[in-house]
Chain A
Amino acid sequence: MQPPSPTQDPREPVVYVVDDDDSVRESLVWLVESVGRRALAFRGAQEFLNAYDPAQPGCLILDIRMPVIGGLDLQERLRQLDCPLPIIFITGHGDVPMSVRAMKKGAFDFIQKPYNYQDMLDTIEAALRAGAEALERARQRIEAKERLATLTPREHAVLAKLVEGKSSKIIAFELGISAKTVEIYRTNIREKLATDSVAQMVRMVLSTGG
C-alpha cells in the first residue's frame, strides 16, 4: 500500500466513485485513499463515461439511485461496451428489487447503506482483484484473436484438427497431405501463437469463440 500521489503508474488500479451526493462521494474518496488506493470521483454517469478508459484496471462504486442516468442504466451501458469493470452498487433502504436486478446483470456486489467501512474496503479489494483478472482475460482474449488472425487458411484447418486432439498422422490422412507437411504447419502455428502446448491453443480458440 502506498500513499496516493499524482504521478501514477498507469497500471495502478483506480477506484471510480459515481454518486450525485457530494458528502457521500467526497467521504468515500477519502476512505478509499486512506488505504493507499487511487480514487476518481464523478457526480454523474455521463461525466464518468466521458473520462473512463476501458484499458484502465479498477472497479466502480455506484449509487443505485441517481438522477438523469441511474445506476442500473450506467451498468447497462458499460455492458454494451463489453467492459469488464466490476461494479459495487451502494443501495439504500428498500432497494432490494433494484439490487436483485443489478446482481442478475452481473454486478460484482452490492452494499447497503449504512455500511461498515471495513466491509466496503474488503469488497473494493475483492473487486479490484476480480477487475484485474477480468482485464487480464480480456487482454489475453484480444491477443489470442490477433495471433489467430495471422494464421493462413491451411494453418487454421490444421489447428482445428489439433484442437480436436488428433495426431499428425491422422491429420495428414484426413487432409490428404504428408505427415511432414503437417509438421511444418504445426511449427508455424506454434510460432504464430507463441505456445508449444496444445492445451493453451485450445484455450485461445475457445476464448475467441471458436
Chain B
Amino acid sequence: MNRQACELTGRAREELRGRTVDVISAPAAEYHAHAALSRIRSALTQGPQTFEWRLRRQEREFPVEVRLRPIDGPGGRRVLATFRDVSDRQAAERRLVERERYYRTLIENAVDGIAIVSDDGRVRYIGPSITSVLGFTERQVLGRSVLPFLHPSDAGEVRALLRGAGDVSWGGEVRRLSYRILHRDGGWRHHDAFVKDLRHDPAIGGFLVNFRDVTDLLRAENAARTQERQVEHLARLSTLGELAASLAHELNQPIAAVANYIGGSVERLSNRQGTLASVLHGLDRAQAEALRAGRIIAGLRSFTRRGNHQREETNLTHLVTDVAQLIELKAEMAAVDVTYDLRHDLPPVACHRVLIEQVILNIAFNGIEAMDTDWHGDRRLTLSTAPAGGGARLSIADTGPGLGGINPDRLFEAFYTTKKHGLGIGLSLCRSIIDSHGGHVWVTAPAGQGTVFHVLLPSQPAAAAHPV
C-alpha cells in the first residue's frame, strides 16, 4: 500500500495490513471479499483485469477503477492492484446521459418539426414529430430530398436559400421561410420554418430546420379578415344609407334651381317679354347650379371610391376636412351648426384613411342624431384636433342631452344601441378600427354639456393586433 492508497481510503497502513478488502469496500454484497478474491484469481490465471469497484471512506461511498496485474516475483506470483477515484468522471457521464435524454424527450415530444438538411435538400436527421406534422414516418423521410415535396412555386425559393447559404450576407443568423409542402394525405400544408446554417458545426453538419404547420392559423386569419371586411363594408353602406336622404335633398336644390332658370329662360324667349340680357343671366346661373351639383357628387365619390387598404402617414386634421362636407350635409338637415377647432401642427399618424374617416363620420353622425327634433337646447357639433400623448387626438362634441345614465363602456359593445333603427355596430366597429391602429377611443359626458367622443391615434402605431 502506498501513501495515496491510505489517503484514498482514509486508513493508516497499520489498519489495513493483513485485512480483507471488506474494510474499505462498500457494504453491498457484490463488493464483499469473496467477490474480490474471484477477481484476483482471474488476474492470476487470465492476466490483467480492469473493473469498477466501490470503496468507502468513513460513511461515504465512491467509485474507483481497479486494475489487477499479476507480477511474478521471488515470492511467487502475486497480484498488484492499482486503483483510482472515478467519482468525477462518472458524475460527468451520468450528467451527459441525462442531458441527452432531456433533449431527446424535448425533441420527441415537440409539436413542431425539426430536421437537419444538407445543402442538396436531403434529410440527414428528422425529429419523430414529423409523423404528426406531415403523416410520414421518420424512416420514410430520412435520406430523401425535401425538394420534390415542396409546392412548385415555393421550391425555387427553398433551393435558392440552401444554395445561397455560402453568401456572406447569410452570416450565422436564422432565416425565416414560408412554404407549402405535401402532406401524406395528399393535401398542401402551409409551414413556417426557421433555418440556421450549422454546416460548419461537426455535431450537426447541415441546416437545422424548425418547422410548424400554420395552415389552420392562416385559414382562421383569412376568415377573420374576410369577416372584418364584410362588417366594415356593411358599416360603410349604412353610413351611405344615412347620407342618402341628405344627399338627395342636397342634390335636389341645385337641380331644382337649374330647372327654374331654364324654365324662366324658355318663358322669357317664348313670350318675348324678357330681354336678351335677362335670358343670358338665367342660363349663366343655370350653369353655375349644375356645377354646384357636380361638386356635391365629387365630394361623395371621393369617400366611396377610395378602397385603398394601405396604411399611410397622414395628418388627422386632413381627414377631418375630407369628410367635413358629408358631416355638414347631415348637420344642415338637422339644423345643427358645425364648428371646427383644427390644428395643423399635428404629428403624422399612420392609418387607413378610409377606416378612420368612417370612424369620424360615425361619431359625428351620432352626435348630430343626439340633437334630434325633440331636443330644444343648443344645436352645435364641434370637431377639434390637437397633439396629445405622442400622437394626435380628435374630439367630437355635441350639445345634446348627454348620456343620461347610460354606462359609457356599454356604448362600444357590439349590438348595443339606443337608436330606434340602429344596428349597434357603429361604435363597436369604431373601437375595433381604433384598436387595430394602436389607438384609443373614449367618451366623456360633463353633466349638462352634451357628449364628447375622443379618438387618440399614436404617431408610432403599435403592431396591429390583427390584420385589417
Contact = CB atoms under 8 A, between A and B. Distances in A.
Do these two chains interact? yes
Interface of A: 1, 3, 21, 23-24, 26-28, 30-31, 33-36, 65, 67-68, 90, 92-94, 113-118, 120-121
A49 to B, nearest CB: 19
Q: Give the residue among B252, B253, B256, B289 with the most A Cβ atoms within 10 A.
A: B256
B1 interface: no
A27 B257 contact: yes
A3 B271 CA distance: 10
B261 interface: yes
B282 interface: yes
Contact of A23 (B245, B253, B332): B253
A198 to B, nearest CB: 47
A67 B335 contact: yes
Contacts of A116: 259, 263
Contact of B261 (A3, A27, A94, A113): A27
B268 A114 contact: no
B274 A23 contact: no
B225 interface: no
A114 B255 contact: yes
A94 B249 CA distance: 9
Given A30-B264, A65-B333, A115 B248 contact: no
B122 interface: no
Contact of A35 (B256, B271, B285, B332): B271
B45 interface: no
B260 interface: yes
B340 to A, nearest CB: 20
Contact of B256 (A24, A36, A67, A118): A24
Nearest to A119: B263
A24 B245 contact: no
Contact of A117 (B248, B253, B262): B262
3 pairs of A and B residues whose beta carbons are closest in the complex: A117-B263, A27-B260, A34-B267
Nearest to B245: A94
B78 interface: no
Contacts of A113: 252-253, 255-256
B257 A117 contact: no
Contact of A24 (B257, B332, B333, B335): B257
Taking residues whose C-beta sits less than 8 angstroms from the other chain, chain B's interface range is 20 to 34
Contacts of A65: 249, 333
A121 B271 CA distance: 14
B345 to A, nearest CB: 35
Interface of B: 245, 248-249, 252-268, 271, 273-274, 282, 285, 289, 292, 332-333, 335
Contacts of B333: 65
A3 B267 CA distance: 12
A1 B273 contact: yes
Contacts of A34: 263-265, 267-268, 271, 273-274, 282
A35 B252 CA distance: 24
Contacts, number: 88
A117 B264 contact: yes
8 contacts: A23-B254, A27-B264, A34-B274, A65-B249, A65-B333, A92-B252, A117-B266, A120-B263
A120 B248 CA distance: 20
Nearest to A94: B245
B255 A30 contact: no
Given A36-B273, A65-B333, A31 B252 contact: no
A35 B259 contact: no
A76 B79 CA distance: 135
B266 to A, nearest CB: 8
Contacts of B273: 1, 3, 34, 36
Contacts of A1: 271, 273
B245 A121 contact: no
Most B-side CB within 10 Å, residue of A27, A35, A36, A92: A27
A27 B259 CA distance: 9
B373 to A, nearest CB: 9
A23 B254 CA distance: 7
B161 to A, nearest CB: 63
A115 B245 contact: no
A114 B259 contact: yes
Contacts of A33: 264
Given A30-B261, A120-B260, 19 more contacts: A23-B253, A23-B256, A23-B289, A24-B256, A24-B260, A26-B285, A27-B257, A30-B282, A31-B264, A65-B249, A65-B333, A67-B332, A68-B335, A92-B252, A94-B248, A116-B259, A117-B259, A117-B266, A120-B263
Contacts of A21: 253
A114 B256 contact: yes
B251 to A, nearest CB: 9
Contact of A31 (B249, B254, B260): B260
A64 to B, nearest CB: 11
Contact of B292 (A23, A92, A115): A23
Contacts of B263: 31, 34, 116-118, 120-121
A119 to B, nearest CB: 10
B245 A30 contact: no
Contacts of A31: 260-261, 263-264, 267
B253 A115 contact: no
A121 B267 contact: yes
Contacts of B268: 34
A17 to B, nearest CB: 10
B285 A93 contact: no
Contacts of A67: 332, 335
B337 to A, nearest CB: 10
A118 B264 CA distance: 10
